[in-house]
Homo-oligomer: A and B are copies of this chain.
């Protein structure tokens, strides 16, 4: 019936104990296998059928693991991992103006960004993150680090109106960013967002340019929005309107727009986000830690607005750990609204995978285990004695396990993390470079 020579040759067949494919939603499969070829998922099917149909060059058996799409970190400033815990327990304005910005003014350079981004990539791969959406200076140095790591990233082409060590003015930021995008166009794991820093650092004129460029180039826009009450009050003073209204007037809101934070939203603003098809990157740890407030996922979720999860940088988190953000998101949704049924474990997993991919316009490529998508995957081992008993693997991923339980991370079918270490990053060398920056920053 199934003679050997009728089997289809593929690169890899993975047999985990469970698979959570994210699409269809809310499903946990047992006795299934994932077939991968040429970096892509070719099939998700019962093990018995897989053994008959496919002849894999490599097989990976994961008898105590759950396999799911790689996690998407929808907002970070990866290079700031060098500033992990640099200043804590301070209000946002003090933290930025007296600690973070002075440190950046003194130290910001391509080497800082390369080292910090590589450190972030290592940490993220260790924790099952396969894609991140970045916003930082010297993105060409970040691109080099990302390519070395083997991760997928959407790099933000950062734009501000004031000068930094990286660029002189808005046009300079844009020119450098677009040149990088051109230089990377043959590398399929990198995509780009236009990344105007925030309403309080970018002028109307620059925002208008960005809206035009986004439409011309068909790339997303990624900006901090309504993070603090202070930001909103300042905008009302300076522009007479709240920041979101200003950006709407300037033509920025739409399905290509990712609003990062969105902690403080009025009902009409939620309507506007919904009507225009914007996406939100929630960063709950960072919002709480900086005292910005508590984002409320409930009305966003109810209005069908797409939202993903971000860590923000290690300077305000202090981990690049999407497991923590999943856990915190669902706990906050339940706690703020006094409703334990909100943001179930499966919904939190979707927020951390497919929703992030959708925000980046990458949902045809990643975010779920549909055949045809790239094999961006992570495996989480659930038989650690500290996690017993286990009644439901989806619940365990969100409420019980952590990134330390991730055992394998694949990006486009390549195993980029196993045995606790990234495949292409030499940790001792990275630590030596990190230590140099630590010494410069600490003294």
Interface residues of A (CB under 8 A from B): 82, 84-86, 88-92, 95, 119, 122-123, 126, 229, 285, 287-294, 317-319, 328, 330-332, 334-342, 344-345, 385-392, 395-396, 399-400, 402, 404, 427, 430-431, 434-435, 437-438, 441-442
Contact = CB atoms under 8 A, between A and B. Distances in A.
Given A289-B331, A331-B289, A88 B438 contact: no
Given A84-B388, A399-B318, A89 B123 contact: no
A291 B339 contact: yes
Given A85-B391, A345-B89, A335 B293 contact: yes
B287 A335 contact: yes
Contact of A332 (B288, B334, B344, B388): B288
Of all A-B residue pairs in the complex, the 5 with the closest CB atoms, nearest first, are A288-B335, A291-B340, A389-B438, A288-B331, A318-B399
Contacts of A331: 285, 288-289, 328
A344 B87 CA distance: 11
A126 to B, nearest CB: 6
Contacts of A430: 385
A128 to B, nearest CB: 13
B85 A341 contact: no
Contacts of A293: 335, 338
B85 A334 contact: no
Contact of A386 (B123, B287, B338): B123
A345 B399 CA distance: 23
Contacts of A119: 388
A402 B400 contact: no
Query: Which of A91, A294, A338 neighbours the largest number of chain B CB atoms within 10 Å of its CB?
Result: A338
Contact of A435 (B290, B332, B389, B437): B389
A interface, over-half SS: helix
Contacts of A334: 288-291
Query: Which of A85, A89, A293, A427 neighbours the largest number of chain B CB atoms within 10 Å of its CB?
Result: A89
A335 B431 contact: no
Contacts of A345: 88-89
Q: What's the number of copies of this chain in the assembled complex?
A: 2
A85 B349 CA distance: 16
A344 B91 CA distance: 12
Contacts of A123: 386
A134 B350 CA distance: 36
Given A291-B337, A328-B331, A402-B402, 15 more contacts: A84-B390, A85-B395, A88-B345, A89-B395, A288-B331, A289-B334, A289-B335, A289-B340, A290-B334, A293-B335, A294-B294, A294-B336, A319-B399, A385-B430, A389-B437
Contact of A388 (B335, B338, B342, B438): B438
A427 B338 contact: no
Contacts of A122: 385-386
Contacts of A391: 84-86, 438, 441-442
Contacts of A91: 339-341
A264 to B, nearest CB: 10
17 contacts: A84-B389, A85-B389, A85-B390, A88-B392, A89-B340, A89-B345, A285-B331, A288-B332, A289-B335, A290-B334, A291-B337, A291-B342, A293-B338, A328-B331, A385-B430, A385-B431, A389-B435
A155 to B, nearest CB: 23
Nearest to A383: B431
A124 to B, nearest CB: 10
Contacts of A82: 389
A374 to B, nearest CB: 26
A146 B404 CA distance: 27
Contacts of A337: 291
B291 A434 contact: no
A341 B400 contact: no
